Each structure stands twice: as C-alpha cells, then as structure tokens.
Amino acid sequence: AQSVSQHNHHVILSEAASLELGCNYSYGGTVNLFWYVQYPGQHLQLLLKYFSGDPLVKGIKGFEAEFIKSKFSFNLRKPSVQWSDTAEYFCAVNGGDKIIFGKGTRLHILP
C-alpha cells in the first residue's frame, strides 16, 4: 500500500538554525514527490516538487529537498530558518490520480 511517513511530528528550532525534516515513502511505481506548507490560518501551498531529473530540488523561500531513490526518501532542508517559517509541513507522493500525504510536521521557530 502507498504510504508516506514523516519522522517528526513536532520540531522546535531557534532562528538561524539549520532544518532537516525527514520523509520516507512507500510506492511501487514512478512517483512524483511534493512538500506542501500550511502557515497558521492559511491554506496549503506548494513548497517544491520533484517529477524527474536532478534529484536536488530547490523550492521557494530557500527550501530544498533531495530525492534519494535507494532510500525512498525526500527530506526537506533549509540552511537557516526564520521565525516566519513557523508552519506545518506535509510531505506527499502522487502515484496516479491521488496524493498521499504524510501526517505533517509542526515546526516552531523561536525568535
């Protein structure tokens, strides 16, 4: 069965710290991979996506993610977080018509 696993449910960091959010997926075929972000009180926004090509994907707001096929992983990274990065982050995989989401990671950045 298709599934997405996010390693941490809550992460607390200080401003300027480096961030890595883990994501592993389980899917038998070709996949498209996504990270979505939901800022407090706002709707889901696409942060970045991987369809094919360079496995290191750069997204908005300084975020990047690396697709490692052998590890079935698509971890999200940012070298230096800001207070405004406080949000919930969802890893997702698209296999066919539907998107399978992870349970999300709530990131709190301390000023």
Partner 1 sequence: NAGVMQNPRHLVRRRGQEARLRCSPMKGHSHVYWYRQLPEEGLKFMVYLQKENIIDESGMPKERFSAEFPKEGPSILRIQQVVRGDSAAYFCASSRDVGETQYFGPGTRLLVL
Is 49 a binding residue for partner 1 by CB under 8 A? The answer is yes
Is 10 a binding residue for partner 1 by CB under 8 A? The answer is no
Is 104 a binding residue for partner 1 by CB under 8 A? The answer is yes
Contact, 78 vs 63, CB < 8 A?
A: yes
End-to-end CA distance of the chain: 41
Is 70 a binding residue for partner 1 by CB under 8 A? The answer is no
Stretch in the footprint of partner 1 (CB under 8 A) among 13-21, 31-39, 57-65, 68-76 = 31-39
Three-state DSSP at 6 gives: strand
Is 61 a binding residue for partner 1 by CB under 8 A? The answer is no
